[in-house]
Structure formats: C-alpha cells, structure tokens
Structure 1
Amino acid sequence: MLLLLVTASCAVIGSSAGVRNEEICYGSYMSFPTRYVPVLFRGQLYFTPNDGGPRKLLMDNGESKDPRLIFPRGRGLLLQDLRDSDSGTYSGFDERTKNEDNIMALRVLDCSEKKTKTFGETYTLDVSRRAEYLEFTPLHTSQTTVLWSRSNSEASEGGRGGMTSRGWEIVCLSPADRGHYNFRKKDNSLLSRIRLSVQESFKDYHAYVNGRLLIEDSCFEGVLWTVTFSMMGAQESEMLIKAGRVLNNEWISPSFKMRIWVLNNGIDLNPVRDTDAGTYTFSDPQGNLAHVATLVVYPESGYVYAAIAGGIVLAVIICCCCVRKCCCKKASKRDESAPVAVYYHDPDQPAYTSSTAPPAPDYSHQPVNSPAYSQPAATSVGPSDQPAGPGYPAAPPPAYSYQPVNPSQPEVSAPGGPGATPAPSLGSDYLTSDPDTTFELKGLTLPSAPPLGSDSEMCYGIQDFQPCILHLYIPWTGVLHSE
C-alpha cells in the first residue's frame, strides 16, 4: 500500500514538474513550448478555464481550432490577443504515449490605463491614427460591442458617445459606461486599452419647512431611476420611487403620500417637512448607484421674512438719500451761478423786487433845487462824523454823494467835469416824505441786505471788490440817479 502511494505521488509530481505559471497582460500573446509545434506534435491541445467552464479543444493533429492560435515561422506556437476568458490551464495529450501533460497555468492581468470619473461628467477618449475601431466591454461581462469603426462609420453596434474633433466623447457619464475601451489595429491586435470607472456623485441640498425641494439634473433625463430614502441617523432605508414611478400608497410611508412627484429630470418634494431630512439615493435600472443627495431641513422662521423686509427698507432709504444729495448739488450750483440783487429802501416803505427793478441808471450829475426841509441838510462830501439816524443811510465814502433830481430842470454836468461831484444839501423831510423812494445797491452779491439804519458798513469797508453804486429812484420824475 505504501509503495502504491509513493508511485502515485511521483507520477503526479512528474506530470506537474513541467507546468509553467504565466502572468501576461490583456491583449498580449502567450508562447507554447517548442515540442508543441504542429510539425512535431500530432496530439490534442486542450484548455480548461479557471471560471469552471467547459473544456475547449485548441488544436488537433497539428490543426488549429482557434483563430487566435497561430504558428508564425521562426516564433513557435502562439496564442495572441489574450483576454480575461483565457485564464486557465493548458494541457496536451499525446496519441503515441497516451499521456496527458499539463503545459502551463495562465493568468491574464488587466494592464489597462485606469480612469475614474464621476456621474454626470463628460469624458473624451483620444483616438490614435493607427486605431481602426473601438470596442467596449462592460465590467464583469464578456459581451463586447463595437462603438466606432474607421472604415465603416455605420458599423457601430450601438452604445453611448460619438466621434468629435477631439476624439470619442461621452456626455453625462453613468454607471452603465463603466468597463474597458479597446482600440485595435487593422490586424485585430490591441493598440490601447482603457478601464473606465464611474463613481456616484454627491450633492448637499437645503430646504425650509413648508418649502419646496427640487432634486434635478440634466443627466437624469431618459433614465427610470429608483429612489430610496434614509432618515438622518437611521440605518434602514425606504423605497419611494421604483423604475421611474412613485410607489402605491400601500408601499410608501404615509409621511410621503401626495408630496413627492417624478419629473422628467428629477423629483419634486412639496411641501417639505422636518422629517424629510436625510439621504436620497438614485440607482439606475441595473441597480448601479449614481447619485446621493443629502437634505438638511431648517425650521420655518419669521426672521427670514424680517430680514427681507429690512433689506427692502434699507434699499429705499439709500435711494432717497442719493436722490436728495443729487438734488441739493444741483440747487447749490444754481444758487452760485445766479447773482443776488440787494435793494436798500426806507424801512417804512416797500422795496422794489427783482421783477420791478428800475431801468439802467444814468451816471450824469444833475443839479436840482432842493425843497425846504424841517431839519438841516447833509452837505458834506467827505466822511461825516455824525452817525446816521434811523431811516438814513450810512455816510458814504468821499468819492460818492447823494444827488436828488429835480424833474423841472434839465440835466447839467457838474462843475469840474464828469469826475466832479457836487454837494447839494438834502433835508430829512424830503427823504422821509416820499413813500416810493428806494435805494438800490449793485456791484456785490450778498446773502442778505440789512436795513439802511443798521451799523453794518456793507461794502464801504470791503477791499479788492468793485465800488458800490447807490441808486436813488424818485418815482414821480421817472429819473434814476446813481453815485
């Protein structure tokens, strides 16, 4: 019995002693030992997959049974364009010896370029000039689809995306786009390989109690989503929408009845309650998770409306202040540009206004006969030491004097030429008896005119200004005399 066990063990060790363990990248090739060249080997070559599939005959009596198993001159027996399904054990059976030997154990590696994107993004694959066509194999499947062919643009078997000037472009990536994208040459050899992974997207949403929540996206269109809800802090989830339709009242919780609606590009929850805070997940018809929405619900508060009202009031106040400031600037400019005419008159008599101003004064000096007055007349042409009484003007400087006009006498120039100033005497009765006598001061722009009897010197003590001109208007004569 012991001898039988030792013999069996030696047979097993001897049969497995020549087994090679190979790890080769996807799309590459595997070479067999020289003794399995069709000229030398007349037996059968078998393949047993690792996934438990049926045994497959690759070569029989030097004839290949698989188009990928070739015998190029000078290179031996090759199995090209390796795929995931080629992982397994290869063995040969010799008809002459009736012995079956395990040749090698192959493991096909995924050496592709890995890309990771998020749901809803746009991804573009660069297309080489040597690429003849593009094929797509979804993850965890062996079904391959031709997406694009250079020689025949209509040879596409479907799929998402399209060729642009930048390359093969896929808009709104979804979990269904996960898989391998292989570019191949004309001889069907692999040029490049990309493994694309699409992960779910995350987004936070905020809403108020009795408000409205819209979870929508342009990439949601055309997909029958399944939506589940997990309350904040809870482990269990509740299905609200299945394959694009809201569940019946028997299946949905009472808290969501008549409040959730399916849109073309998302869902609508109205009105929002405080118990709606939590996580909403969106899965495609294949069960792949695509989008996770986290909702935070705030209590309804009057402070929100108060803040809005306060903002409106503040905006109105600012606008009013701006308008007022602008108007004040315009009014100030008008006041500065317009001169102010000041008229001096008897305090007991009305003064002429700007609309009834007398005509332009005649600066000629006219001697007149003075009527009799009850008081002595002021005849001095120099500065007087006696202060002016009530109702009388202050003493003028030496260059000017008061000249009454007699309408009965013609205008005669004063002796000494135009520059001379006669000094007639005027009685106080004459100045006070005429109710229409008016004194007008021109040449200065002043804000206000004090009474003639005041102690203010007005323009007599002001330097660097033009001389003041005092006009005496006698209404019954129609003559205005100026000094």
Structure 2
Amino acid sequence: MLLLLVSVSSVFVGSSADVSYENLCYGRSLNFPFDYAPPVFHGMLFFTPSNGGPRKLMMNNAEAKDPRLKVNYGSVRLTDLTERDEGTFSISLDGDRLYSIVKLTIADCATQINRHYGDMYESNIPRKAQFLEFTPLGNLDTSEVLWNRSYPQTNKGGRVQVKRNMWEIYNLNQADNGYYNFRGSDNTLLSRIQLLIQEHYRHFDAKVKKLLYIKYPVDYAWTWLAFTPEGKTVNEILMDGQDVESGRLLRPGRFNGRIELLQNGLEINPVESTDSGTFSFRDQHGNLVFTVKVEVMSEFIPASVYVPIIAVIIIVVIVCCCYVRYRLRDTNPSASYSAAPPTSAFSNQSTEPTATSLGPTVYSPVNIHMSSPKPEAAVQGDQGEPSAPSVGSDWLSSGPEPKFDVKGLTFPSAGPLSSESTFSDVYTSDKLNFL
C-alpha cells in the first residue's frame, strides 16, 4: 500500500511540475526540491546543457550517476558548479516523456584583479585552503594545480611563490590571464579571483615634417614590432625576432629611411601624414608588452575650424552693438522724444457748431491756445459763481477769461460743463465790427 502511494505521488508530482529558474555563482551547489529526492521520487533525472551538447543521465532510482551529485534521504544536491552546468534539468517517470523542473545559469562571481605586463600580484591564502588551481581564460576546460599544501616540494621552481600564508606571482603577462581558485580538501571552493594582464599604453601627437621620439619600457625585453595603420586591421610587421639593440628592422616598409631603433626608444624623422596608427611591441612568446597610439596632426588647419570662430565673433559684435545702443538710450531718455512737436489739449477741437440749451448756436474757435482761469480772488458780487477750469501753465493764469462780442454773438465765460452760470464778461472792440 505504501509503495502504491509513493508511485501515485510520483506521477502526480512529475505531471504537475513547475519550472524553477536558478542563477548561482561558480563553485556553489544546486539543491533540488524535496519532491525529487528519495523516498518521494524514484524516477530518472536528466541534464541538457544549454550549449547544445548531448543529454546526460544524472540520477536513476535514487542512485547518482555523476560524482558531484549527492543523493541522500530527503535531499539531492549538485556540488562544485561550473559553466558546463548551465542548462535544463528534467525528470522522467517512464524514460520517455520529460518534465523540466530546473533551468540553471552560472554567474561569474570572481573578484577581478587588473595588472600590467611585468607587474607582481600577491594575496593571502585562505586558512582551510588545500591547493591553488589555475584555469586559463582561453581554455576553461583545462585546470592546473599551482600549489598544494600537502606536497610543498612541488611548489618550488614555479612562478608562484608561497611564503607562510602569502602567495605571490611575478613578471605577469597575458599567459597569466585566467581564474585562480583556492579549494579545500573536499574540493569546496573557498575563494576565486580573475586576473587580467594589460599591456603598457602611451599616446603621442605628432606633426608633419617633424621628429617623433617614442620611448618604450627598457625593463621588458621585446623582439617583435608591428604597425597597424589607422582605420585598418592588418599589421605591418617591422621587426620579427631581431635584436633590438642592433637597430635593424626586418621590413621598414612605409618608414623606410625614416625610422630608427635606439637603445631607449623608437625615432621617426620626418613624420608623414600617413603615419597615424598603432605600434605594438611583443616579447618572444607573443605576449603584448607595449602599445603606442600615434596621431599625426595636420599641417594646415581645415576651413571647418574657422566657421565656429567666425560665428562667435559675429554674435559678440551684435551683442556689443545692442548693449551700446541700450546704454545710450538709458542715459538720455529725452532723445527719443526731442523731434516730436509740442501738442496742446485744445489742438484737436472741431470747428463744427455745438448746440446748447442756453440759447443760439455757439461756434468754437480753432487753434486758440489761450485759456484764462478764474482769478484767485473773485469780483465782489460773484461769490456764488463756480470757478472756470484751469490749466497748469503759469503764463495762462494772469487774468480773467476774455469775452468777445461780435454782432450779437456772445461767447459765454462758463465752460461747457457749467451751463447754469449767468455771469459773463463783455469785451467790445471796434476791430471786430466787420459784420
């Protein structure tokens, strides 16, 4: 009855399995769900790599088929994960139909260390470390043991030196690029670094028809020199295996008659416009020691350089002119009004007759620029009369408003707005008796 229950449970679990996505660091372990461990699961566990490799049987009937797979009562664990473990894990109950349960990706969690050609690197050795393993960057399937605590005699003569709890590696070059893993006695990963070695680099600006001197590191022996013109990928080999101190080039090529190897550097005289590019110096093993980028400056400044300069000058001139004009107007505000003729409040009066309710038609004269306000002291008997409107000009406020009598036409002294006034001044002149 128990076996039947286990079998039914297995079928149910396998048919309703959900895919789990896992992203783990290199060297860690993958723990499978409890449902796929004995005594619940007794089927087959497969692995299909993501790189397109063949499918592999990992476990069958609770028996591990891979030495890194640890099968225990209630747990299944895959240890020491590497890049080769990226892919899909699936189960099968009958050996035919597969159900995906885990999709695994491996993350590179190593500490990255950058050094230059010829440098040294040193670090502490973990307390529980048993050996140091090196995996070249270009060949992850190959590993080499550089140090083993149990066999110290094998640590002599190599480039890796161990002193007490420190390890050192000298004269680094690109062959040392890779991963350095310290592992325990059970192969457990304790620490991991990625070492990257870069060449020395310099940049030079050169001028046409001038001398260019390139000083290179004399501490590092190099026997191979090549030039890559700017914009191209094909190297032009200038020296291959020749003695640097001899000053001879294998194939000077475009630099024929203009290039010379000195004890501490490389001299080009005179420089030509086609000399822009990259010089590469390598040692006898092909490791890149030194890279020099040369950029030849043109002898003549192109016309495109002058365009923005001229534009800036024009803008500055316009701004200065506008500023000067603004300052002149700000210091002499009346200048903009000096040419305008004076105007009067009465210059726009119409000559058309105006009808009033006090009597006959009154004609208003045109362009008479005179007005006389009421005297400050009113004539006796006129205390109750309202004052006539006044204008602020002093020369118009010296006397009473004049009155003209022309053949019965009377100009009242009251303004248009004082129609109820009965007081008037009469001025009679023989000069106006023309009717």
Give the TM-score, by structure 1 length. Answer: 0.48
Aligned to 2:137: 139
When residues 217 and 17 of structure 1 are mapped into structure 2, their CA distance, relative to the original with a 3 A threshold, is farther
Q: Distance in 1 between matches of 2:295 and 2:231?
A: 17
CA displacement at 1:289 relative to structure 2? 4.9
Aligned to 1:410: none
When residues 220 and 45 of structure 1 are mapped into structure 2, their CA distance, relative to the original with a 3 A threshold, is farther
* Matches for 1:378-417 after TM superposition, within 5 Å: none
* Matches for 1:171-250 after TM superposition, within 5 Å: 171-203=170-202, 215-220=216-221, 225=224, 227-230=225-228, 234-236=230-232, 238-241=235-238, 244=241
Aligned to 1:10: none
Q: Distance in 2 between matches of 1:34 and 1:56?
A: 21
When residues 41 and 256 of structure 1 are mapped into structure 2, their CA distance, relative to the original with a 3 A threshold, is farther
Assess if the C-alpha contact under 8 Å between 1:283 and 1:290 holds in 2: yes
Aligned to 2:314: none
Q: What percentage of residue pairs aligned between the two structures are identical? A: 36
What are the Cα deviations for residues 322-357 of structure 1, in whole angstroms up to 9, with x where unaligned?
A: xxxxxxxxxxxxxxxxxxxxxxxxxxxxxxxxxxxx
Aligned to 2:57: 57
Aligned to 2:78: 79
Aligned to 2:32: 32
When residues 274 and 34 of structure 1 are mapped into structure 2, their CA distance, relative to the original with a 3 A threshold, is same
What 5-or-longer segments of structure 2 have no aligned partner? Answer: 1-13, 298-435
Assess if the C-alpha contact under 8 Å between 1:89 and 1:106 holds in 2: yes
When residues 242 and 36 of structure 1 are mapped into structure 2, their CA distance, relative to the original with a 3 A threshold, is farther
What are the Cα deviations for residues 359-417 of structure 1, in whole angstroms up to 9, with x where unaligned?
A: xxxxxxxxxxxxxxxxxxxxxxxxxxxxxxxxxxxxxxxxxxxxxxxxxxxxxxxxxxx
Q: Distance in 2 between matches of 1:73 and 1:288?
A: 53
Amino acid at match of 1:144: S
The residue matched to 1:70 in structure 2 has which SS?
strand
Alpha-carbon RMSD: 4.0
Assess if the C-alpha contact under 8 Å between 1:15 and 1:102 holds in 2: no
When residues 159 and 176 of structure 1 are mapped into structure 2, their CA distance, relative to the original with a 3 A threshold, is farther
Q: Distance in 2 between matches of 1:26 and 1:249?
A: 48
CA displacement at 1:94 relative to structure 2? 1.6
Aligned to 2:125: 127
Q: Distance in 1 between matches of 2:269 and 2:104?
A: 58
Query: Is the counterpart of residue 170 in structure 1 residue 169 in structure 2?
Result: yes
Assess if the C-alpha contact under 8 Å between 1:249 and 1:257 holds in 2: no
Q: Distance in 1 between matches of 2:21 and 2:156?
A: 37
* Matches for 1:352-363 after TM superposition, within 5 Å: none
What are the Cα deviations for residues 66-117 of structure 1, in whole angstroms up to 9, with x where unaligned?
A: 111012456x00001111111111112223x843211210011112222222
Q: Distance in 2 between matches of 1:175 and 1:249?
A: 25
Q: Distance in 2 between matches of 1:292 and 1:15?
A: 60
Q: Distance in 1 between matches of 2:127 and 2:250?
A: 59
Q: Distance in 1 between matches of 2:121 and 2:65?
A: 40
Q: Distance in 1 between matches of 2:239 and 2:59?
A: 51
Assess if the C-alpha contact under 8 Å between 1:38 and 1:63 holds in 2: no
The residue matched to 2:35 in structure 1 has which SS?
helix
Aligned to 1:92: 91
Give the TM-score, by structure 2 length. Answer: 0.53
CA displacement at 1:219 relative to structure 2? 3.5
Aligned to 1:292: 291
Assess if the C-alpha contact under 8 Å between 2:239 and 2:250 holds in 1: no
What 5-or-longer segments of structure 1 have no aligned partner? Answer: 1-13, 299-483
